[in-house]
Structure 1
Amino acid sequence: MSENPFEAIRKACDSIGHCFQTHLAKVASVAGSSKASMFSFLTELKPGAVNDAALLPSTSDLERKITAAPLTKEELGRATWTLLHTVAAQFPDSPTRQQKRDVRELMAILSRIYPCKECADHFKEVLKSNPVQAESQAEFSQWLCHVHNIVNRSLGKQIFPCQRVNARWGKLDCLDRSCDLEGSNNLSFPL
């Protein structure tokens, strides 16, 4: 991970751009748009962006997204880690017993149904050696960072400094704490 704090912002913008392009490509494919007209549309969104590689992906990236290719194992992994770190960031400082059980069960379920069997089997082994620690938001975030680093090591990737986990995957910026999890054990959701 880069020491430059703006690198995280750039990556977040790239991720949002990827999401936008993916959804836009789906809309365009339904409407029967050609790849060339999709590229023209994207360049019209930001005048001058055609020559700015940081703002617009390469034509080959656009073509892959426009053809609605399935995710790669790497893309799935990045999306999963983003989700898990965001859950950890939103986890309460003083979770209820149910919330602690839920997060342990979430990890167990992921290790059973994850779309990549090799990854799921590895995650099961990691969980056996490193049981979920979720007595607080800080503990859960640090545990998840540690587990993520175990996976990164096995893949030959860089290790993330866990003391920076909140700077990288902090709480969502929601008005009036509307993203915070409720602390009640008796929440009911309509099915």
Structure 2
Amino acid sequence: MGVSENPLISLFQAFQNISNCIQTQISSLTGIAINPSPPTSNDKQLSSLLSFSSSSSDLSTQQGKVSIPVTKEELGRATWTFLHTLAAQYPEHPTRQQKKDVKELMAILSRMYPCKECADHFKEVLRSNPVQAGSQSEFSQWLCHVHNVVNRSLGKPVFLCERVDARWGKLDCEQRLCDLHGSTDFGGGIL
């Protein structure tokens, strides 16, 4: 399968674009310059990580380069980025299904997270702190609190939850195309 045929490259590029957008927003809010990864080097990394010949006997090396597994810390940062971004996009008046989906997502993470130790710990955190997802602000605050519970257990500094909107505000998308409102009519088109 060629690089251009691998659907994971498009997915990873979309995540990189979202990450760059978030970094740009954080930079504009804080005044601290954050340099997003340049797309060209990222594309090369993705190509080397996601392309290999089907006849390759050693999948850990691709085109002479050794793939390095994601660390537990990298996975954690990426997961928290995803969850806080999801919470920022969560509707202020969610549907019953959206509330159910968020609770199920957290339950799934506690069962299937790639780090078993982390998953087990998250399961305990959820038992003590049931998901609160009645609104965007409630869900964002709950997630910040839960993230702080995890940070404390790891000996990391906690984040002031009053600043969660400044840190994890809505994505900057045209015509609010990033909002999680389900089907919304914009000028006659269903999104």
Same-fold call, TM cutoff 0.5? yes
CA-CA distance at 1:182 after TM superposition:
2.3
Distance 1:93 1:108 in 2: 22
CA-CA distance at 1:27 after TM superposition:
2.8
Report what 1:6 is aligned to. Answer: 31
Q: What stretches of structure 2 of length at least 5 have no aligned partner?
A: 1-28, 53-64, 184-191
Report what 2:151 is aligned to. Answer: 152
Report what 2:3 is aligned to. Answer: none
CA-CA distance at 1:72 after TM superposition:
0.3
Once the two structures are superposed, what CA deviation does each residue of 1:83-110 show, in whole Å capped at 9, x if it has no partner?
0000000000000000000000000000
Distance 2:30 2:44 in 1: 29
Letter in 1 for 2:160: P
Higher helix share: 1
Distance 2:70 2:79 in 1: 12
CA-CA distance at 1:24 after TM superposition:
1.8
Letter in 2 for 1:154: S
CA pair 28-120 structure 1, distance change in 2 beyond 3 A = closer
Report what 2:108 is aligned to. Answer: 109
Once the two structures are superposed, what CA deviation does each residue of 1:154-183 show, in whole Å capped at 9, x if it has no partner?
000010011111111111100001111124
After TM superposition, the structure 1 = structure 2 runs for residues 65-144 of structure 1, keeping only pairs within 5 Å, are 67-144=66-143
Q: Note if contact 1:93-1:138 (Cα within 8 Å) is conserved in structure 2.
A: yes
Letter in 2 for 1:6: G
Q: What stretches of structure 1 of length at least 5 have no aligned partner?
A: 32-65, 185-191
Distance 1:104 1:168 in 2: 23
Distance 1:162 1:19 in 2: 32
Distance 1:159 1:18 in 2: 30
CA-CA distance at 1:6 after TM superposition:
3.1
Distance 1:169 1:101 in 2: 22
SS of residue matched to 2:82: helix
TM-score normalised over the length of structure 1: 0.68
User: Per chain length, whose mean CA-contact separation is higher, i.e. which structure has more relative contact order (CA < 8 Å, sep 6+)?
Assistant: 1
Residue 27 in structure 1 maps to residue 47 in structure 2: yes
Distance 1:67 1:18 in 2: 21
User: How many residue pairs were aligned?
Assistant: 142
Distance 1:87 1:142 in 2: 12
Q: CA RMSD in A?
A: 2.3
Letter in 2 for 1:105: E
Letter in 2 for 1:17: S
